[in-house]
Structure 1
Amino acid sequence: MSQLSKYNIQLKKLEAFFGEKHKNLINQANIHPQTADCVDNYVTQRGIPYKNTYFLTRCKIYLKAFCEEIRHKPFLQKTLATISRFYFARRVKMALIRPDNALEQTWIQKCCCRFMCKGPIPRHVAFIMDGNRRFAAKKHVERIEGHTRGFDKLAEVLKWCQDLGVEEVTVFAFSAENFKRSKEEVESLMELARHKLALIMQERDQLKANGVKIRVIGELKQLPEDIQNMAQEVMSITKDHARCCLNVCFAYTSRHEMVQAMKDISLRLRNGTLQEDQITDDLFGKTLQIPSVDLAIRTSGEIRLSDFLMWQCSEACLEFTDALWPEFSIWNFYAAILKYQYFIAAKKS
């Protein structure tokens, strides 16, 4: 008799012993009896997907329903030992395996997320997405492939921020200084921007469901006219979304943003809507397009802001990680959040 058959018999004994109530609980949880040695074959034959909630629910129900009685029943003790060995071995393995959905967190990542939420969470996180070209060189692929992987990483990072309750995310997608790069690379980046903006417009229902508001900020007049129009349409589509705001800095420099703020203040002075004694650093900060940053993260090991949100980052927690942007992981992100929480605690002490 196979292990699986023996295990099924033990399960039936358990169900008979504890009655229909606990049997119904087991059935509702979609529990399929398996032993450690039979798991792979069983799943392959029956097409049962590995789900973290499946293993967690299974263990909880067994322990809650049977723990007290097992002490007095030898065959139940053996069954629990089998369940426990199987449960913990599979939980450790499944905690480290990425789910089929790339945006879905593993079990251990969800635990870490809940742990992080017990402390202060930054309201506004900024990312300098550096290292795309170095990633391409490292992987021996074309530069545009590195930039494509970088854009794909952005969706993943935005999901991490939403899971933690971050209200605003700002990313440095393209500096105005990048127009000085080779014509071929700039044209490739513009084509990539067209493609990604088109995808965003196609997924407007998903954006609405997630409540993501998108703002494209920078010297947009330097961009091709069709990209300007697409950016305006994306902003129009998402302007009423309120759960999370994504600021995409495109053709952006902090100096240009500050110059524009100074011009706005000067215009208000000439119009008489603002008095000179009303000009403060707080007013200047509010005149800028992007609000103050709580946590700024730069990838690739470079330790500089590169003309990105220089005013807004004056009191922010700064994190510089060696990971290239396409390789930036959720653990790098959690490390930055922990640093921010330590930073806040140090300020209060």
Structure 2
Amino acid sequence: MPSNGLRTSLRTRRWLFSLPPIEWLSLRIQEALIGALRQGPIPQHVAFVMDGNRRFARQSHIETTEGHNLGFEALAKILEICYKAGVKVVTIYAFSIENFKRSKYEVDALMDIAKIKLSQLSQHGDLLDRYGAKIRILGHRSLVNQDVLEAIDRAMELTKHNDKAILNVCFPYTSRDEITSAVQSIVALATPSKSKGRHLETLTEEAVETSDCLLESHPQSRSESPSSNTTMASTVVSGSPNSAPLPLREHIDFAGVHHKEMLDLESISERTITDHLFTADNPPLDLLIRTSGVERLSDFMLWQAHQDTDIEFVDCMWPEFDVWHFLPILLGWGLKRKRFLREVKLDEERTHSRGANLSRDWGHNDYVQEKKGL
């Protein structure tokens, strides 16, 4: 964790870079670096765990809400760099379902900040409008108050025609909740085989009974969502065995995928689950960054983080994360990607060369016959 001396140096650096001549020079350098980055491979999907707002506030002796506000300012700057560099999709972990365990004061403050910042981001002429980015909210709508839902729907409506980039705001979200929702959608679409039909029918009847019980326990879940972009999934009990059941899960239909054909249970695969996630129509996750020095994913993008995803843990708080932290990460990703593509090309050339040698030694016809016989 950074010391008080380092905190002072960070504040000094921030003050220094705010001076007009230094700020002008810094912007010119940034533009040059971003231009250079665009000449090479750029990650198409970048995700951020924006961790450290509260700790930054405590260590800076300011209110927690002010720490979150500073975190939003950092986000706006990073988003601009992403879209300038050519990143198509940015996904941010804005609010975990687990965050509801925090004090009511802080949760309410975060919800108020979310309403204000979503409105600011989506205004005509603001950041997302300038770069043609649309907002998508990925999460569990039924846990959010009506006034916040209205702000969410307004932001999505205002940016729905933007088609150059996407900002996924995970709010409120956990990866386990997302995967559960995907599995529920798949089960609802699956066609049971004859051998399993009666068993699935029994399970369905039990699910309906459970759903009725939960609706009686949570009458508010009977109300319809104000958004037309929502789907109701089957009931799932969340948390520990002793925790109270959640109401029916209500999730936004982010991908807009319409499955007209029923699925066969035997055909369900990893791809099937991927196609039912909130990020179904997004490019694969190339880069995931977490600030604050904590080295874990905290139930974020667990399915999307595949074997080719670069994960970077940065030892600074999110409000401190700036272009000089981010650009080296983008540069490093681009260099690794170039090496990977070069190795793939060399492998293809070696394979082609071996094939050419075989063809020359055996004669084309013999080679073809040999291949057919394998």
TM-score w.r.t. structure 1 length?
Answer: 0.68
The equivalent residue for 2:163 is 242
Question: For 2:290, which of 283, 287, 298 is the aligned residue?
Answer: 298
TM-score w.r.t. structure 2 length?
Answer: 0.63
Q: Distance in 1 between matches of 2:83 and 2:55?
A: 28
Q: Comparing 339-348 with 185-194, which one deviates more in the overlay?
A: 339-348
Q: Distance in 2 between matches of 1:211 and 1:342?
A: 28
What's the CA shift for 1:293? 0.8
Q: Distance in 1 between matches of 2:131 and 2:35?
A: 20
Q: Is 2:296 aligned against 1:307? A: no
Q: Distance in 1 between matches of 2:38 and 2:263?
A: 41
The equivalent residue for 2:276 is 287
User: Is contact 1:136-1:145 (8 Å) kept?
Assistant: yes
Question: For 1:204, which of 113, 118, 124 is the aligned residue?
Answer: 124
Q: Distance in 1 between matches of 2:56 and 2:276?
A: 37
What's the CA shift for 1:239? 1.3
Question: For 2:174, which of 229, 237, 253 is the aligned residue?
Answer: 253
After superposition, the Cα gap between the structure-2 partners of 1:330 and 1:209, relative to the gap in structure 1 and judged at 3 Å, is closer
User: Is contact 1:95-1:106 (8 Å) kept?
Assistant: no
The equivalent residue for 2:331 is 338
Identity of aligned residues (%): 40
SS at match of 1:198: helix
- Which structure has the larger Rg over C-alpha atoms? 1
Q: Comparing 283-292 with 178-187, which one deviates more in the overlay?
A: 283-292
The equivalent residue for 2:22 is 97
Question: For 1:173, which of 94, 102, 115 is the aligned residue?
Answer: 94
The equivalent residue for 1:185 is 106
Counterparts of 1:119-134 in structure 2 under 5 Å? Answer: 119-134=40-55
The equivalent residue for 1:231 is 152
After superposition, the Cα gap between the structure-2 partners of 1:342 and 1:156, relative to the gap in structure 1 and judged at 3 Å, is same
- How many residues end up aligned between the 2 structures? 251
Q: Distance in 2 between matches of 1:342 and 1:208?
A: 31
Q: Which has the higher helix share?
A: 1
User: Is contact 1:96-1:106 (8 Å) kept?
Assistant: no
User: Is contact 1:220-1:228 (8 Å) kept?
Assistant: yes
What's the CA shift for 1:244? 1.1
- Describe the superposition over 1:213-257 as per-residue Cα deviations: whole angstroms up to 9, x where unpaired: 001111121111110111012112211211110000011000000
- Describe the superposition over 1:16-50 as per-residue Cα deviations: whole angstroms up to 9, x where unpaired: xxxxxxxxxxxxxxxxxxxxxxxxxxxxxxxxxxx
**Greater RCO structure (CA 8 Å; 6+ sep):** 2
After superposition, the Cα gap between the structure-2 partners of 1:342 and 1:130, relative to the gap in structure 1 and judged at 3 Å, is same
User: Is contact 1:129-1:173 (8 Å) kept?
Assistant: yes
What value does the CA root-mean-square deviation take over the aligned residues?
Answer: 2.1
What's the CA shift for 1:299? 0.6
Residue identity in the other structure for 2:273 = F
Q: Distance in 1 between matches of 2:315 and 2:28?
A: 26
Q: Distance in 2 between matches of 1:323 and 1:142?
A: 19
Q: Distance in 2 between matches of 1:161 and 1:114?
A: 12
Counterparts of 1:43-58 in structure 2 under 5 Å? Answer: none
